[in-house]
Structure 1
Amino acid sequence: MNAESQESSAAASTDLVVKNGRAMPGLVLCPRGLIVLGILTLSCVHVNSEILSNEVPEVHFASLGSTVKLTCRGSHQGISEVIEGLIVSFGRSAVVWTHNGSVVRTRQNHPSDVLLILTNTTRSMEGNYSCYEERRRDLLQSIILHLGYPPEYLSVSCKVPSHSKILCTWTQRVKTHLPTKYISSYRVDNEETEPCEQEIQDVNECTISDLKFWASKHLVNITEVNPLGSKSTITNVDVHKNLKPDAPEELICDQVNGEPTQLFVHWKPPSSWPSDTHVPFPLKFELQYRPVGSKFWSKMETEDTSIVIMDALIGHLHHIRVRAQDAFINYSQWSEWSEVVQAQPWTDPSMLAEATTDTLFVSIFPSTFPVKATEKSPDPSFDENGSQVLIILGLLAAVMVVVVFSITVLLWANNNRPSALQDSKLAWSPNYVLRIDVVNCFDLPLRL
């Protein structure tokens, strides 16, 4: 019974092979074929999995101008083929490199070109490098190359817009051309390091909100990090000297009804300055104004946020601006000027008929001076002209003095020349001198 069943099952299997196995007629009769088939299947699975893994590009970073070596790591297993049912290995084979799809012409400095050497690298050498098996063009590995520079010291600038805030910004001195991130922190004296908050990662700025104003020195550390390394830039921020409020806001100038020489000016403190009235850090303001066309600014100072200009020029348009400074720290910095606004004092309707006269006055106005100015800037053209006139007069006076002195010396020399020659002859005549002495000796008693 068992023998018959075995024979029937064998016949059935033989029929199955005959019906469905034209491509493999000898599998049952040749057990070695099954072994070869199994090995081939396993090797195909391994090769396919390796190719799929190598299809994920490897990212490589290097410095510009350096020598870069790229290795085709997928070529170490060689190439295997099935010939007449047997797996034949050819060992390591040569590879072909491509750069962004174009074949790279390499030097024959390596037997199989597995190692690609790039010298004196430039930005044009960046991109996708792929290595293929030379015969079958199978992708072995893909490498994305990025070239740039390691971090250098940054250009850091910090400002103190109020007593409770430091805002630091920075820029690269050397563009690295590589993905970069920044780590910002600060330290006060010997205390622990605290982070300088970066609200937006893509913007190179950080804010210190918990400012310790009693400590004037704050060390701000900005560290630049990229794939080639890191570099820290430390900046010493003097809070008191760098205290610089933002410019005042919403500057408005209004007419004063019935007052042709007055302007009412008001504004708001900068929004970044603490608005709490209990904060013991008030601001003082400097307001400047001038008629349009004038070169001279008049100024007024106040700790209020409004002021009345009392000496505006009647019927003329004025420019007005204002800036702020800490009222207690005199060596702190003035803010930038606010935007300049224009305003004209109130005009009596009865004076509108004199528009022609006003127009003529405006045309000659640049040569005039303000009616009243607390502080005036000198006119450089006037100084230059006055200096030139003084220099010319001084030169003429000097020339005249030299000429008169020369003439006087010549006349004196001409008048005194004969007597001088005679004296010189007498001085060199011994007989004459002796005779004079004798005569004088004999004459003395007689005269007595």
Structure 2
Amino acid sequence: MNPKLVRLLGALMLLFSIIDTAEGQAIVDGVNTQYGQIGTNVTLMCKNTTNRVVEWRLNDSKIIGTKDKELTGTSLTLFNVDASQKGRYSCHSLESGNAYSSVLLLLGYPPGKPQVTCWSARYPQSAVCSWKLENQTYLPTRINVTYSHGIEGAERCSSEETLQGNCTIKDIKLYSNIPYTLKVTATNPLGVRSTINQFIVEEIIKPDPPIDVNVSPIPNQPKKLLLQWKPPASWPDLTFFLLKYRIKYWLEGSARYRMIENIDRTSYTLSGLRSRALYFVQVAAEDFIDNGVPSDWSPPVSARLWSN
């Protein structure tokens, strides 16, 4: 058979296997699926019957009308539905018990507004954006992410990254007053929500924390500690894009800390400390000319001052 004809027939079969029948409804692989929002009223209609009254079942168990379920002719209305009411509903003949039709009811929420955060830990090479929804939908929710710079055409983030909840923008434009525009759209059978986030790359610089942070006593120096560290391994260019550092340290048991800023090297001697005491220290990195924001703090390390 002609390969083009085979592809055409395959596309037609896929089209007929997924047919939107109404808002919140779909037929997938021959099974009628209806979607409802938790906390609202949902009405199910019996199909393929001319009878005026039918019997409704949920997962093959007969449904009896109550204050939260109303049986009206060939319809079933569920009031203020909750997650426990999802399942396969079917309508049947009162005389024979034969099924007329069935529907799989799935319950959840429309997507909330995506909450987007963008930063550049690998400046000047790339920026990364991540997102999360305001709420759990409990329904299959598709995320689509695009970005653009100025009037340039929008580019779609890779599906692999999108599934992981992030998008990497490479070959970023440096020192541009034109912002990047990132659009995140969440779609499920109950609704669509989008967020548009704009940023200047230099304003979102945020290095990763320094690594291999170590603090140690200095022999014969009972009031000093030697602090050493390495730049974040993810920072790509320390020759033309320098980093500086800040230090936070505190005495064991104290809620107060001291801060030292604008350190342009990867070691520092803490002095004027309390003899024989135990001190905790953290280090953060930031762009040398104060673009963006400092990194998160490194995990705390500790050392006790030298004593005879």
**Which TM-score bucket, shorter chain as reference?**
0.7 to 0.9
Task: Using the TM superposition, name which of 93-102 and 333-342 deviates more.
Answer: 93-102
Matching residue of 1:418: none
Matching residue of 2:278: 317
Match of 2:103 among 143, 167, 191: 143
Matched, 1:153 2:153: no
Structure 1 residue matching 2:299: 3-state secondary structure: coil
CA distance in 2, matches of 1:237, 1:342: 38
CA distance in 1, matches of 2:221, 2:153: 61
Task: Using the TM superposition, name which of 224-233 and 302-311 deviates more.
Answer: 302-311
The structure where strand makes up a greater share of residues is 2
Task: Using the TM superposition, name which of 305-314 and 260-269 deviates more.
Answer: 305-314
Matched, 1:234 2:196: yes
CA shift, 1:290, in A, is 4.4
**Native 8 Å contact 1:318 1:343 kept in 2:** yes
CA distance in 2, matches of 1:70, 1:210: 54
Match of 1:183 among 127, 140, 144: 144
Matching residue of 1:162: 122
CA shift, 1:193, in A, is 0.8
CA distance in 2, matches of 1:67, 1:201: 32
Matching residue of 2:181: 219
**Native 8 Å contact 1:62 1:68 kept in 2:** no
Matching residue of 1:245: 207
Identity of aligned residues (%): 28
CA distance in 2, matches of 1:317, 1:94: 80
Whichever residue aligns with residue 245 of structure 2, its letter is: F
Query: Which has the larger Rg?
Result: 1
CA distance in 1, matches of 2:199, 2:267: 33
Structure 1 residue matching 2:298: 3-state secondary structure: coil
The structure where helix makes up a greater share of residues is 1
CA distance in 1, matches of 2:56, 2:281: 70
CA shift, 1:136, in A, is 2.3
Unaligned runs of at least 5 residues, structure 1: 1-54, 77-91, 350-448
Task: Using the TM superposition, name which of 146-155 and 125-134 deviates more.
Answer: 146-155
**Native 8 Å contact 1:290 1:298 kept in 2:** no
Whichever residue aligns with residue 238 of structure 1, its letter is: I
TM-score when normalising by structure 2: 0.75
Whichever residue aligns with residue 193 of structure 1, its letter is: A
Task: Using the TM superposition, name which of 98-107 and 265-274 deviates more.
Answer: 98-107
Structure 1 residue matching 2:296: 3-state secondary structure: coil
Q: Where does 1:101-120 land on structure 2 (aligned, <5 Å)?
A: 101-105=60-64, 109-110=72-73, 113=74, 116-118=75-77, 120=79
**Native 8 Å contact 1:158 1:167 kept in 2:** yes
CA distance in 2, matches of 1:288, 1:117: 64
CA distance in 1, matches of 2:306, 2:169: 48
CA distance in 1, matches of 2:63, 2:250: 72
CA distance in 2, matches of 1:300, 1:233: 36
Matching residue of 1:133: 93
Matched, 1:122 2:81: yes
**Native 8 Å contact 2:87 2:104 kept in 1:** yes
CA distance in 1, matches of 2:71, 2:262: 81
**Native 8 Å contact 1:287 1:301 kept in 2:** no
CA distance in 2, matches of 1:108, 1:314: 81
Matched, 1:343 2:300: no
CA distance in 2, matches of 1:109, 1:224: 36
Matching residue of 2:246: 286
CA distance in 1, matches of 2:105, 2:272: 71
Structure 2 residue matching 1:241: 3-state secondary structure: helix
CA shift, 1:227, in A, is 1.4
CA distance in 1, matches of 2:76, 2:189: 20
**Native 8 Å contact 1:96 1:103 kept in 2:** yes
Matched, 1:303 2:277: no
CA distance in 2, matches of 1:289, 1:152: 41
Unaligned runs of at least 5 residues, structure 2: 1-28
CA distance in 2, matches of 1:158, 1:72: 49
**Native 8 Å contact 2:216 2:226 kept in 1:** yes
Q: Which has the higher contact order (CA 8 A, sep 6+)?
A: 2
CA 156–290 in structure 1, closer or farther in 2 if over 3 Å, else same:
closer
Structure 2 residue matching 1:270: 3-state secondary structure: coil
Whichever residue aligns with residue 214 of structure 2, its letter is: I
Whichever residue aligns with residue 104 of structure 1, its letter is: I
CA 285–198 in structure 1, closer or farther in 2 if over 3 Å, else same:
farther
CA distance in 2, matches of 1:169, 1:284: 26
**Native 8 Å contact 2:248 2:257 kept in 1:** no
TM-score when normalising by structure 1: 0.54
**Native 8 Å contact 2:175 2:202 kept in 1:** no
CA 254–183 in structure 1, closer or farther in 2 if over 3 Å, else same:
same
CA shift, 1:338, in A, is 1.7
Structure 2 residue matching 1:240: 3-state secondary structure: helix
CA 262–137 in structure 1, closer or farther in 2 if over 3 Å, else same:
same
